[in-house]
Structure formats: structure tokens, C-alpha cells
Structure 1
Amino acid sequence: MRFVIIGAGRVGLRTARVLRDEGHEVTLIEREEGKIRRARTQEFSVVEGDGSRETVLEEAGIANTDVLGALTGDLNVNFTACMIAKHHGCRTVMRIDEAYREEIYRKYANEVDEIIYPERLGAIGAKNALLGGTIRAVADVAPSLQIVELTVTDEAPVNGYTISELELPADATVLAFGKRDRELAIPSEDESLEVGDRLVVLADFEVLSEVRQLLVGESANQETATAGRTGGVN
């Protein structure tokens, strides 16, 4: 997947690193020289300029981008960038700070796909918002391991299986299971997998796509395309 992230500060750069480590393509937009140097030192592609300007977004490749994350500390820049990205068919995620009142949240919530408070979420939460859909990162355990929560869908090949019949790749393990709208617990072998059920899985990054295909029934690219079409706010 291809991401454009506006803002190479603490939130933007950490989120970019998490995405890149999972094999995604990331381009950053930043206007402060110090942040640009730091991002380029970490071998990121950086476009210098104001992310709320369409010419800058076009230079960053917005026309061929799946998701735009407007993660600066400037609400006006973030919102303007998201509106431009919407016209290019991108999924949009906009940062606002906790200092903003609830009415401001409601004002912008219907215009973008998702709004995040990075002070609460951190980089993992920001990545979840960018990815959207039916897979949610819970924690990065090691450079090659991640704990994810997945929701079973109609298209999942394992829909109707029991836990004992579930065969995940060798580098993936089920840690917890929860029926729809119920708390997660240690899985029982006789539990059946149905639409809306959730599984928490520890998996190597290299097999995450295969795990997703089994439990969700769609690839990463298909999931993002679906999220972009629905345009819902979580």
C-alpha cells in the first residue's frame, strides 16, 4: 500500500516507521528543515512544502496514493489536505489534538474517514486508523512480530470452522477469542467461528497477509479499497 503522511514530527515519523517496517511505501511532506533532515537521515522520501497545497500533494504522488494521513499539529492544514486528498480518491485520516472541543470533532468527523487523537493513540493507533477495515494492530512485540485483532467476515474461508479446525501458518498463533459483542477469552477448541467474532493473533509480519486472508477473506489492498469506498468514521 502507498501512504502520504503530512508532518514529520514525532507522531508522523513514528507512524511512517511502523508502516515502512511492514513493507508499505511511505512519502512524507514537511516544511521545517530540521524535521526534513531527520526524516531523510532515516531514508524516507520527503517532499518539502505545505501539505495543504495541492501542488505539493501532487508532487508527493497523491494521485497514486491509497491513504493520506494529515498528522501535523495544525488543524487547518490537516483538514485542507484531507479535502484535497478526497478528490483524488484517497482514504483520509486527520489528526486533532485533545485541546480541541467536542463540537470541533463533530464538525469535521463527517468530512474525513477517521479522526485521531495521537496523544491517546500513539503510532500503533495512528497506523490502525490509516489501515482501516477489519484488522487492528494491538502491539508490536519485536521487529518481525505483531499482535493483531481480526474480525471474521462473510468472505472468510474459515467462517463456520471451529477453533480446532483452524490451521494458521506456522509463524502465527491464536492468543484470544471473542464472540460478537462479548469479551475476549482463552479460546476453546469447540468454539465456532462466525461473522463478527474476533481473534487476537501473534504473527510474523511475513505471514500477516495469509492470516488476514484466512480470517477476513481479503487482501490488504482490497481492504483499503473497501474502507475508502465506505468512508465511515469509527
Structure 2
Amino acid sequence: MKVAIAGAGAVGRSIARELVRAGHSVMLLERDTANIDPAAIPDAIWAHADACELSLLESARLQDYDVVIAATGDDKANLVLSLLAKTEFGVRRVVARVNDPGNEWLFGAAWGVDVAVSTPRILASLVEEAVSVGDLVRLMTLRQGQANLVEITLPANTALAGKPIRKLALPRDAALVTILRGGRVIVPQPDDPIEGGDELLFVTSVEVEDELRQAVGR
């Protein structure tokens, strides 16, 4: 897979290293020459370019990339790049970093963003996950805000203990994708029993989150 990353600061470089390690082809776009260091990630393509300049993106052949990641420290730049990537270059998948949580509402389909990643929200979700038992915690927004990855940790004395997964009365637009139990990651099967303390991960539409909470979070 070919991935273009705008912003070669600490965040952009970390993403690039992980993707290169996984065998993907990566290009880093950076406008500040002080951040350009090909020796830091020699297997990546480095381009001195302002990611908001259409002509420079054309020179970088952004249309050849499967994914664009807008990872700069400037929300305005990330939004402009996302819109250009989607509308001008037809990039299939656009992921954008949200620096200011107050701007998160902008990072959606109208600006070409497929997935918005807000570090403050992720950290807050992890804190909630650590202390919340029996309640629904949003971990990530998917499909331009139409669905969420959510987690519900069952209390030790849950009334669902011992029941098979097929007995869960889930709303129509919710799917159980993983059970975390101790150190195990379980792909749920219909006859697998539920245990107290299980962490259940669902993909669900926003509209049925309350129904899911009532069905499982007890």
C-alpha cells in the first residue's frame, strides 16, 4: 500500500516508521527544511513541499497513493490537505489528525476526512475505559461519524454471565467484533459463553448506542 504523510514532525515520523516496518511504501511531505532528514527513515520518500499547495501535490503525484494522512500540527493545514486529497486527487482513504478538540466537528466528509484521530479524545476514552464498568465508552469514530468503535466492560456480577453470545439482544446496527478476556483476544462465536469482567468491543451506529448500552451494559 502507498501512503503519503503530511508533516514530518514527531507524529509523522512515528507513523512513517511503523508503516515502513509493516512493508508499506511511504512518502513524507514536509514544508520546514529543518524537519527533513532522509537518514531518519531511509526507506521513505522525502519531499520538501507545502501540503496545502495544489501544484506541489501534483508534482508529488498524490493521485498515485492509496491513503493520505494529514498529520501536521496545524488543523487548518490538515483540513485543506484532506479536502484536496479527496476532491482533486481522488484518494480513497484520508486520515486526519485533530490537534484542537474544539475543531473536531469540522473533520468529516465535508472536508474529505474519512477518519479523524483526536489524541485528546483517545486519551480521554482510555481513561474512561480504565474506570468505567458497565457503561459504553467510545474509542474511535468510523465512516465519517456514522458509526463508532465502542467498548463495554461487564461487571463481575453481570446477569449475562454464562449465557452464550447468541443470546445477546443486540440492536440491528450493532455488531460484536472482539472480546478481551484477561490476556486473550477472542473472536466471538455464537455459542461462546459470556463471563463477568469481559471487555466487549462493538461497531455500532450512533443511533442505537443507547439501545446497546441497555442491552449489554448491565
TM-score category, normalised to shorter length: 0.5 to 0.7
Structure number with bigger Rg:
2
Structure with more contact order per residue of length (Cα contacts < 8 Å, sep ≥ 6): 1
Taking structure 2 as the reference length, the TM-score comes to 0.54
Matches of 2:82 and 2:116, distance apart in 1: 11
User: For 2:180, what is the secondary structure of its paired residue?
Assistant: coil
Q: How does 1:1-12 map to 2 (within 5 A)?
A: 1-12=1-12
2:117 equivalent in structure 1: 116
List gaps (5 residues or longer) in structure 1.
Answer: 123-127, 130-135, 137-178, 195-234
Change (3 A) 1:64 1:187: closer
Where is the strand percentage greater, Structure 1 or Structure 2? 2
Q: Could you tell me which amino acid in structure 1 is paired with residue 22 of structure 2?
A: E
How large is the RMSD of aligned CA atoms in angstroms?
Answer: 3.3
Q: How does 1:62-211 map to 2 (within 5 A)?
A: 62-87=62-87, 88-90=89-91, 91-97=93-99, 99-101=100-102, 104-111=103-110, 112-118=113-119, 180=176, 183-185=179-181, 186=184, 191=189
Q: Give, in angstroms, the shift of residue 191 of structure 1.
A: 4.2
Change (3 A) 1:120 1:62: same
Q: Give, in angstroms, the shift of residue 50 of structure 1.
A: 0.6
Check the 8 A contact 1:4/1:60 in 2, yes or no. Answer: no
Q: Give, in angstroms, the shift of residue 6 of structure 1.
A: 0.2
Matches of 1:20 and 1:120, distance apart in 2: 27
2:41 equivalent in structure 1: 42
Change (3 A) 1:182 1:40: closer
Q: Give, in angstroms, the shift of residue 89 of structure 1.
A: 1.8
User: For 2:19, what is the secondary structure of its paired residue?
Assistant: helix
Taking structure 1 as the reference length, the TM-score comes to 0.50
Change (3 A) 1:120 1:23: farther
CA distances 1:110-159 after superposition (whole Å, capped 9, x unpaired): 3310111246669xxxxx99xxxxxx9xxxxxxxxxxxxxxxxxxxxxxx
Q: Could you tell me which amino acid in structure 1 is paired with residue 106 of structure 2?
A: K
Q: Segments of 4+ in structure 1 off by > 4 A? A: 119-122, 190-194
User: For 1:28, what is the secondary structure of its paired residue?
Assistant: strand
List gaps (5 residues or longer) in structure 2.
Answer: 124-139, 142-148, 150-174, 193-218
Identical columns (%): 28
Change (3 A) 1:118 1:15: farther
1:57 equivalent in structure 2: 57
1:22 equivalent in structure 2: 22
Matches of 1:106 and 1:23, distance apart in 2: 33
Check the 8 A contact 1:11/1:118 in 2, yes or no. Answer: no
Between Structure 1 and Structure 2, how many residues are aligned?
Answer: 137
CA distances 1:16-47 after superposition (whole Å, capped 9, x unpaired): 0000101100000001122102x444213111
Matches of 2:120 and 2:2, distance apart in 1: 25
Check the 8 A contact 1:40/1:46 in 2, yes or no. Answer: no
CA distances 1:66-119 after superposition (whole Å, capped 9, x unpaired): 01001001111111111111022211111111x331xx3123323310111246
Q: Could you tell me which amino acid in structure 1 is paired with residue 7 of structure 2?
A: G
Matches of 2:71 and 2:15, distance apart in 1: 9
